Amino acid sequence: MESIDLTSVRRILTRLEDTVIFLLIERAQFSHNPVIYANTSAFEELEKDEESTFMNWMLRQTEITHARLRRYESIDEYPFTPRNQLPVTILPPLNYPNFLHPNQININDELKRSYINKIVPVLTKGEGRPLDDLHYVSSATRDIDILQTVSRRIHYGKFVAELKFRENPSKFIRYIRDKNSEELSKLITIQKVEEALIKRLEKKTIIYGQDINESSQCNASQSGELKLNAPLVTSMYKEFIIPLTKKVEVEYLLNRLEGLSESDINDLLENRKNVVDKK
């Protein structure tokens, strides 16, 4: 990873915006295919498997492979499969910086439910398009790419929370001790940043969603048919990605003092040092 500060984290989050939009465009090519998300006899071999839906089975098998290849050794990757059910890596471990406070926060289950139930039906809806086009593997592969990318984006909230905490620990410690989630949420929310994000996403979706040829004029006010509905992307961020990111940030902050002594906390209050539990 590059050096960790708010500028570098925001740069990563901005790049992830592009990735999310392009992946959504890819998934929108295919029908809803609800059978891949349901417990069904359509996939007979799965009746003997602990994952009873095609989508969950593909996700688990993908993450098993990725775990062997060290993906989840990275400090910014979070699997949907419980870590204790994943194999160990076949590659030597990497020594990542001990930047985050120890925590077990992972809200991928909530993310997956929201995506499957709220996003996919709208994303794949089209006039004259069948509900099922039989492209199950292609659909599930795109779903997995989207889920893993959005998960990474959401859990980057931990880095944002840690960096904001380090800027002024005393501003947070009172509310952490009081378990005051509402005040912590206010401290981490910058409304103008969120508004700028939504405007940027709308422009990007319109630009990336256009078919470009040598005679095309590409602009952010282009009308006509696009590969992806801009309101869908902005709604996805406003209703799911931003709230889930804030949830991660607040939960992280609520646990930020765990394992620290009173002496450590006093050091934080005096801004004498950044203290992270090394256990």
* pLDDT (0 to 100) of residue 274: 65
* pLDDT (0 to 100) of residue 218: 61
* pLDDT (0 to 100) of residue 279: 47
Domain for residue 105, yes or no?
yes
Domain for residue 274, yes or no?
no
* pLDDT (0 to 100) of residue 245: 98
Domain for residue 164, yes or no?
yes
Domain for residue 275, yes or no?
no
Give the pair of three-digit tokens for residue 79.
């699997």
- Give this prediction's pTM: 0.91
181-188 and 169-177 helices cross at what angle (nearest 10)? Answer: 160
Domain for residue 57, yes or no?
yes
Tally of domains within the chain:
1
Domain that holds residue 14: 6-269
* pLDDT (0 to 100) of residue 212: 75
Domain for residue 166, yes or no?
yes
Domain for residue 185, yes or no?
yes
Three-state secondary structure readout of the chain:
CCCCCHHHHHHHHHHHHHHHHHHHHHHCCCCCCHHHHCCCCCCHHHHHCCCCCHHHHHHHHHHHHHHHCCHHHCCCCCCCCCHHHCCCCCCCCCCCCCCCCCCCCCCHHHHHHHHHHHHHHHHCCCCCCCCCCCCHHHHHHHHHHHHHHHHHHHHCHHHHHHHHHHHCHHHHHHHHHCCCHHHHHHHHCCHHHHHHHHHHHHHHHHHHCCCCCCCCCCCCCCCCCCCCCHHHHHHHHHHHHHHHHHHHHHHHHHCCCCCCCHHHHHHHHCCCCCCCCCC
* pLDDT (0 to 100) of residue 271: 73
Give average pLDDT by consecutive 10-residue segment, the chain, 279 residues. 83 96 98 92 70 90 97 95 96 88 97 98 93 97 99 98 95 97 97 97 95 66 77 97 98 97 91 58
Domain for residue 183, yes or no?
yes
CATH code, domain carrying 89: 1.10.590.10
* pLDDT (0 to 100) of residue 43: 74
